Structure 1
Amino acid sequence: MALTAVLIAATSGCSDEAGKPSGEGSKIASAASSAAASLASQGAAALASATAEAQRKLDEVHNGVNAKDEVTLGTPSTGGDGRATVEATAHNTADSAKSFAVLVQFKDTDGNLLDVAVVTVPDVAPGQDGKATATGTHKVSGGLRAEIGTALRY
């Protein structure tokens, strides 16, 4: 959204009488377009890096079993630092204490992946719930939802 405002501000009032972009307006629009492409590229690289790090953390879990049905997520929000957060609740159905590793995917309202985080819910007693807060790795804005990508009990 902020990028759109920059593009609009950069290109408004920069046309000749026929409505065609003036030379200076074209330069500004071109620079704004380049900046937008650069920001998008940086955002994609940051997301790829966060996703790779999340997968690395999940790969460290040994003897984990799928526990996606045992984990629920609260309502996501954006903290004061602009990063997405959501509470994860893990219900232990095993007969001994278990820990959970949960990959949380933060998405916009259109389903586009914005960020990922892995949260650990440690030492949940049998038949009990454990809670932990997942926090994204970089700033996000706009509508937000959270989904469980992977949940492992170990």
Structure 2
Amino acid sequence: MIGLTTTPISLIHLSFAGLALFTGTWVVLNPKGTRRHRWLGYSYVVSMVVVLTTAFGIYHLFGRFGIVHWGAVGCCLALLGGLWPVWLRRRVSSWLFWHQLGMGVSVSGLYATFVVESTYRLFPARYFWLTTVGTSMLVLLAAALLLYRQLTPQLLTRRSVAKQ
């Protein structure tokens, strides 16, 4: 079993991952558009930047760039996908939809990564594809369904407005 805090980079990674889990969960579960939402949202972004940066310096699982690192690349893209609409909201009419989609995917990826980090330490390596990849895919599937339920009304409203 690999220790959670084997190196200083792992400690930094783990600490900021905890902060990202806390702030990301808070933002998802509480009212949007408030000053607190923005403050904790940017705290989430900063903590995710640290988590994603340190992720590329941790190679305990495979000893090289592996599937977990590709997940980090995907999380980077999702985080940027949630940020650019906010930065360009004056130019992008559907900025809120794209912001919610990108940040929703980002937080979903964070939860899936939490499952990956937890399961590969708890179960023998021979069960990696079933326990680690399988359960993280279930988390992503559940997140996709929740995002679909949340964002579909916005898509339908935009289409009905566009038809008028």
Mark yes or no: TM-score above 0.5: no
Q: Greater strand share, 1 or 2?
A: 1
Looking at both structures, which has the greater relative contact order when contacts are Cα pairs under 8 Å and sequence separation is at least 6?
Answer: 1
| Shorter-chain TM-score range | under 0.3
TM-score, normalised with respect to structure 1: 0.27
Question: Greater helix percent: which structure?
Answer: 2
Which entry has the higher C-alpha Rg, 1 or 2? 1
